[in-house]
Amino acid sequence: MKTELFNYDAPEELIAQHPRPRGESRLMVVNRNSGTFEHRSFSDITDYLSHNDVLVVNNTRVSARRIAALRPNGLPAEVLLIAPQSDTSWYALVKPGRSFRSGSEITLIGPEDLRTSVMVAATTPDGGRILEFKNPLISQQVATWGNTPLPPYIAPQLSKEEEERYQTVYSNLPGSAAAPTAGLHFTPEIMRRVSENGTRLAEVTLHVGVGTFRPVRTENIEEHEMHREVVSVPRETADAINACTGKIVAVGTTTVRALESSRRSEINPQAVASNRASMFAGSTNLFLRPGSEVKAMDALVTNFHQPRSTLLMMISAFASRELILAAYAEAIKERYLLFSFGDAMLIL
């Protein structure tokens, strides 16, 4: 299938650049059976949830920090600290990677030109690095350095006061380089109403990698190499899904990847063919696209995604490509805001 089939014109003025107050986004409701659209407010989301449904969220928390650095030769570089591995080490992504060889020392630059040297202890299979600090105190301090990494289509940098707005209200497990942005719309009040409805809340963890923002550059989508991400689906979540008598409502494409990975035997040896989800802890590079079987959920809360992105291809596996592109055309006509800080879509 040609990648160009998932292209569309995203007006620059509709690409949201700033976070708005939670819960105040718009919500487009897309009905897969009728092919119709409704225009609502996100605060109306509980109108579509009932007492026998399960709402599945990704509880990952953005822990990454983008920090300026100097290579061993003194030239500038960039380090993206992703998650601590021990009291004195971090998993990180680096640029340019060829300058960060195992055993070399680099310099991280903090606020007010504060500097510290760290050793590249190892290269990980995904091309990342393990950085080893000289003592635990410095290792803890660097978590406050730099900035929250944002997608390349967002120009302004978040202030320190705004950084929590790039976390979901239910985030609790650090490890992501980016937020699962469909969850950014939920407020504590909306979550309270979800509970009062009798809708059960279930959690998965998928630590989002920076590859989620990379467009597909191959001519055919089948040639695209998907990035790998760490996943966990607890037993209680799998049990809640498999016992559900209502709708399984997934919040975000990362949740879909976690659930769909958990039930596939080629990814999860513990998967049970008759189940919609299975307990799973591991990693996945699952690429869902039209033609892929998507059975883990009945409804999806998502944002409006970039053209030619794997996320747009994924939701086109859940609904048809034609319906999704028609919904995007409707959203642009109605001036919905797009991408990470934009408005939301509910696909039923």
- pLDDT digits 0-9 by tens, 268-309: 999 999 999 999 999 999 999 999 999 999 999 999 999 999
The pLDDT score that the predictor gives to residue 124 is 87
Q: Which of 158-162, 287-291, 339-343 has the lowest mean pLDDT?
A: 158-162
The pLDDT score that the predictor gives to residue 258 is 98
Whole-number Cα distances in Å, 159 to 64, 78, 112, 268:
15, 20, 17, 40
Query: What fold does the segment set 3-62+162-347 form as a domain?
Result: QueA-like (3.40.1780)
End-to-end CA distance of the chain: 25
Q: What is the DSSP string of 88-99?
A: TEEEEEEESGGG
CATH 2.40.10.240 range(s) for the chain read: 65-144
- pLDDT digits 0-9 by tens, 219-234: 999 999 898 899 999 9
Kindly report the pTM of this predicted structure: 0.92
Q: The tokens 């979540």 sit on which residue? A: 237
- pLDDT digits 0-9 by tens, 104-155: 999 999 999 999 999 999 998 778 899 999 889 999 999 889 899 888 899 8
The pLDDT score that the predictor gives to residue 12 is 97
DSSP-assigned beta bridge partners for residue 346: 29, 301
Q: Which of 156-160, 216-220, 300-304 has the lowest mean pLDDT?
A: 156-160
- pLDDT digits 0-9 by tens, 33-68: 999 999 999 999 999 999 999 999 999 999 889 999
The pLDDT score that the predictor gives to residue 213 is 66
Residue 214 has pLDDT above 80, yes or no: no
The pLDDT score that the predictor gives to residue 278 is 98
Higher pLDDT, 275 or 174: 275
- Tell me if 343 sits within 8 A of 331, measured CB to CB: yes
The pLDDT score that the predictor gives to residue 158 is 86
E strands, 218-327, in order: 229-233, 248-251, 280-284, 299-303
The pLDDT score that the predictor gives to residue 162 is 85
The H-or-E segment that residue 260 falls in is: helix 253-262
- From the number of C-beta atoms within 10 Å of its C-beta (0-12, 13-18, 19+), residue 71 rates as middle
CATH 3.40.1780.10 range(s) for the chain read: 3-62+162-347
- Across residues 10-37, what is the average pLDDT? 96
Q: State the amino acid at position 254 in one-letter form.
A: T
Alpha-carbon distance of 281 to 275, in angstroms, equals 16
Query: What fold does the segment set 65-144 form as a domain?
Result: Thrombin, subunit H (2.40.10)
Tokens of 77: 């570089």
